[in-house]
Chains A and B, each alone.
Chain A
Amino acid sequence: MIPELIGLAGIALLLVLLTFGVPIGVSLALVGIGGLALLISPEAALIKSGVVSFETISKYELGVLPLFLLMAHICFAAGASRDFFDVAAKFVGHRRGGLALASIGGCAGFGAISGSSLATVATISSVALPEMRKAGYHPGFAAGALAAGGTLGSLIPPSGALIVFGIIAEQSIGKLFAAAIIPGLSQALFYMIAIAILCAVKPALGPSAQRVPWRDRLPALRKIIDILLLIVFVIGGLMVGWFTPTEAASVGVVAALLLWTLRGGFNRAAFGEALRATLRTTGMIYVVIIGAILFATFISVTGITDVLSGAVTDFHASPIVAIIVMALVLLLLGSFLDGLALMLLTTPIFLPIAVDLGFSPIWFGIFLVRTMEIGFVHPPLGLNVYVIQAMAKDIPLGTIFRGIIPFLVADFLHLGLIIAVPALTLWLPQVTGA
């Protein structure tokens, strides 16, 4: 069998394993090891698995991922996420769809603490979903706004996905973080516009709540001043150069602990639970990364990547068309692949092509993560949707996915904007010299 065919068989087998519910990381790694055993030798495959696994778990740059997760868990335990939502709700809750707007604001705010889409959607949903349902919001609309809003967590820095991209693409994580700020904020803005339009057309989706008088709003704001300071300290310190992006995670954990202590409520049991929750999520991520690297090694040995990049080059299309084709491929793959696995798989293939076409690697990282985010909400493997469904088992999956459609439209328009105006991405890292 020629290597390319083995590669295709491997991909088919991967899909079968995934469909049968084999964990994503396990499927990727097994197909990868098996493929390498076939194409090179069983000995080489075993050695590769030994090398890859230990290199992955001893990588300094990847070590910041659990630390950013820990920071988010500590902030959650300190009540930061609830306060965020509360404040946003007090300010805009009286408008139509106001709680949905507040959810997007809460997601953006918590996204500046948390590095992951899943953590953000789970955290904000746990607060916002019951509130919205109490206020009579349409369940699909509420869930859709939260699922979409959660993806802000993986673009707004700190971003686990950008850390991983920076490692495999050998790009500065600081630059990537700076580049993500404007796209992240404008994405939130797009969602808010989508909500405003939806509620204008169909007010029943998000009935307005009681107006909160200004004298109650400002004290509420005081409740989150410490969190805002934390965010400004971590992101600002990073940009000014008090610490490097990798050190920012440790500094952030210490600052979050301080915040928790100052707020009161710090106790060993809760801290222990934050540590354990961090470890559980970290473990899942590491297995997927190890699996994805082994699978990517197998795929590159098959030569499929060369065939693919040749095809794109032969396309001789304008760079924009090539990028749109890549986006479509990413969305297609994203419908059945986990975001992280998708990125690890496609970066080695697409990045060189994109750079050849004249795109900056930093821009491409933002493009990739932005496209990958969409995969978190679109069927069938929109992980964010499952997170929400885990919390509100009475909302049918179909309802949630229908509720997401308007946000997907906003996503596509925003992605188009990022492609059309690279300056949105590249201006800030240039100005800050990140």
Chain B
Amino acid sequence: MTAETESLEPPLAPPPEAGLGRLGHAAYWIGSAGLLIATAADAIAVAGRHTGFHLLGSIEVVQAAVVLIASSAMVAATIVGAHASVHILTERLRPATAERLARGAALLGALLFLLVAAGSIWVASDLWSGFEQTELLGIPLRWLRMLWIAAALLIAVLFLRSAFVRAAGRHSA
């Protein structure tokens, strides 16, 4: 009944990230960079406002940084299995049955992120030649869309792997 919360908070045991691989590390780096950029952009904008120097477009910087944060955060949450779920039934089932349900849930997770990736690719391809960019700073959005698509695909793969690893674990047990 505790899986849903295990990685929620700092006081709980650090999650098993040992084998998260290069992509996982990249996700953490990108997300951390996003957090620092977002912090800096707004903090500098505030400081600037009070000292007369002006940073126009800080909102756009934060928006771009948030894409980095959110994309990599979803990858990170998937790596450690931090997605909130209800365990009212599964914890009362026989382990084998619960295992099968968990595998099914992981497959559904993979399906969802494949669908979302497909939808995002479709939207991005519509706008690919449309020079999508932010208003003031002209930050090109297509690369941010690409980053999100890559993240969604990676999340789907992580869900698939989790379904597969569970299956393997069950066979060897």
Residues of A within 8 A of B (CB): 17-27, 29-30, 33, 45-51, 53-54, 56-60, 62-63, 66-67, 70, 73, 76-77, 118-119, 122-123, 125-127, 242-243, 246-247, 249-251, 253-254, 272-284, 286-288, 290, 336, 338, 380-381, 383, 386-387, 389-391, 393, 397
Contact = CB atoms under 8 A, between A and B. Distances in A.
B84 A21 contact: no
Please provide the 9 A-B residue pairs with the shortest distance between their CB atoms, ordered closest to farther. A283-B77, A126-B11, A50-B119, A122-B9, A250-B42, A283-B73, A23-B83, A57-B70, A63-B66
30 contacts: A18-B85, A20-B89, A21-B87, A21-B90, A23-B83, A24-B83, A25-B83, A30-B115, A33-B115, A46-B119, A48-B119, A53-B116, A53-B120, A62-B66, A66-B35, A67-B35, A70-B39, A122-B5, A125-B11, A250-B41, A275-B28, A279-B31, A279-B69, A279-B77, A281-B7, A282-B31, A282-B77, A287-B74, A390-B2, A391-B11
Contact of B75 (A50, A283, A386): A283
B66 A24 contact: no
Nearest to A63: B66
B69 A390 contact: no
Interface of B: 1-2, 4-12, 14-15, 17, 27-28, 31-32, 35, 38-43, 45-46, 50, 59, 62-67, 69-78, 80, 82-90, 98, 101-102, 104-105, 108-109, 111-112, 115-116, 118-124, 141, 144-145, 148, 152
B86 A336 contact: yes
B12 A63 contact: no
Contacts of A276: 17, 28, 32, 76
A421 to B, nearest CB: 34
B2 A389 contact: yes
A122 B8 contact: yes
A380 B42 contact: no
Contact of B5 (A73, A77, A387): A387
A26 B80 contact: no
A247 B58 CA distance: 10
Nearest to B113: A26
A43 B7 CA distance: 36
A23 B84 contact: yes
Nearest to B34: A66
For B1, B64, B84, B116, the residue with the greatest tally of chain A CB atoms inside 10 Å of its CB is B84
Given A21-B85, A272-B32, A280 B76 contact: yes
Given A25-B84, A59-B63, A390 B6 contact: yes
A287 B85 CA distance: 12
Contacts of B71: 57
Nearest to B144: A58
Contacts of B102: 21
Nearest to B141: A58
Contact of A22 (B59, B78, B85): B85
Contacts of A274: 10
B32 A275 contact: yes
B119 A49 contact: yes
Contacts of A284: 8, 77, 82-84
A126 B123 CA distance: 45
B26 to A, nearest CB: 12
Contact of A73 (B2, B10, B87, B89): B10
B61 to A, nearest CB: 10
A288 B73 contact: no
Contacts of B67: 54, 57-58
Contacts of A283: 70, 72-78, 82
Given A57-B148, A59-B63, A118-B5, A251 B42 contact: yes
B116 A60 contact: no
A280 B88 contact: no
A17 B105 CA distance: 8
B82 A60 contact: no
A67 B10 CA distance: 15
Given A57-B66, A280-B7, A389-B1, A49 B115 contact: yes
Contacts of B31: 275, 279, 282
Nearest to B104: A20
A54 B2 CA distance: 31
Contacts of B111: 30
Contacts of A23: 83-85, 105, 109
A66 B69 contact: yes
Contacts of B11: 76, 122-123, 125-127, 391
A328 to B, nearest CB: 21
Contacts of B88: 19, 380-381
B84 A387 contact: no
A29 B43 contact: no
Contacts of A21: 85-87, 89-90, 98, 101-102, 105
Given A60-B62, A288-B84, A391-B12, A53 B148 contact: yes
Nearest to B145: A54
B90 to A, nearest CB: 4
Contact of B39 (A56, A243, A254): A254
Given A119-B9, A280-B77, A287-B77, 12 more contacts: A21-B87, A21-B102, A24-B83, A47-B119, A58-B64, A58-B144, A67-B38, A125-B11, A278-B73, A279-B28, A279-B35, A389-B2
B112 A30 contact: yes
